[in-house]
Amino acid sequence: MKVMKKSISLALILLGYTVAIPAVQAEGYEYYSNQGALVYGSNFGGQKKIIAKFTGINRRDLYPVENISGEQERYIIEDEVTTIKEEYHWITDGHVILWRGKIVSNPPGTPMVDVASFKALGRFAVDKYSLYFDGQRTESNSGASKVDLATLKAIEDNSSTLVDRHNLYLLGRRQASSDDFSVLQSKLWGDIERFRPRNEGATSRDLLIRHRQDVFLNGQRIADVDADTFHIIRWIPNSLLVYRDKHGEHRYAYGNPAGKMATTDDANSFEIGEKNRPLAQATRAG
């Protein structure tokens, strides 16, 4: 198996086969001043790259958007992507909102971003007019279904899936009553015990829930699943879910990039020992 340049590999013997596991590599993204302009750039393996430049925004004026959870950061934390963690942050100068190097703006015909009331919880955000997810407006925040900030929380610390006293929110959109779902299972990135010890530094978490007759992974519906007979066979966080239902066995690749850790079905791949293994049924929690 090829590994990325400058990476370190761990080799384990598993059922007579050698499996190479790349070491954790961090890619950071940060805002900084460059020749009088605000820049958002990446730093990967010591190689810096400018992603975006802004005029009229001063780096010294930037600060984190108010956190709905109440755990407010005083300083800007760089965005970070690794094999065990993915964290991005909403930033403001009091005039505009920034997300992953872009100014957040709403489509024509919708209310403008209200910076004064803008608050965030992970990838989700809200102002007095709109809901947002991953830097994009998703829908209106008005009327009887308005977000209840006092009770809003992320399920298992996964901000793709939130609830307040009224609604369930998936990927920033209202889905149903907050009572109308169940948690099947969650799994920390880096929690791959077949290959290596659990990584205690992992902070990102994948989440499986059931909503009526559908199963969702990180807020995304898995198509054509029979929820009543759904069983987990294997689960590599941020990469691959192998499950079985009454229709048979299925492989669901996802993550960034989807299924990178297990994209082949050969004797040396993730498939080792997969067949004929007893099923592990997903646990339920209210």
One pLDDT digit (tens) per residue for the chain, 286 residues: 333 333 333 333 233 333 333 444 557 999 999 988 999 999 887 788 999 999 999 999 999 999 998 877 778 889 998 878 899 999 999 999 999 999 999 999 999 999 999 999 999 999 999 999 999 999 999 887 899 999 999 999 999 999 999 999 999 999 888 888 999 999 998 766 554 555 555 579 999 999 999 999 999 999 999 999 999 999 999 999 999 999 999 999 998 654 454 443 333 334 333 443 333 333 333 3
Handedness of CA 54, 55, 56, 59 (dihedral sign): positive
Output the pLDDT for position 201.
57
Specify the residue for token string 């965030």.
Answer: 120
Q: Which two tokens stand for residue 131?
A: 């809901």
The residue whose two tokens read 């994948």 is 206
pLDDT on residue 202: 56
Query: Are the beta carbons of 26 and 82 closer than 8 angstroms?
Result: yes
Q: Give me the pLDDT at residue 21, please.
A: 38
pLDDT value of position 140: 97
Whole-angstrom distance, CA of residue 182 vs CA of residue 161 = 11
* Cα 196 to Cα 11: distance, rounded to the nearest angstrom: 10
Give the pLDDT score at 48.
87
Proportion of the chain above pLDDT 70, given as a percent: 76
Judge whether 208 and 217 are in contact, CB under 8 Å.
yes
Report the alpha-carbon distance of residue 261 to residue 251 in Å, rounded: 13
Q: Is the pTM of the predicted complex or chain greater than 0.75?
A: yes
Residue among 210, 247, 244 nearest 230 (CA)? 244
Q: What Å distances lie between residue 208 and 88, 155, 221, 224, CA to CA?
A: 21, 10, 10, 15
Tally the C-alpha atoms within 13 A of residue 185's C-alpha that lie toward its C-beta. Answer: 16
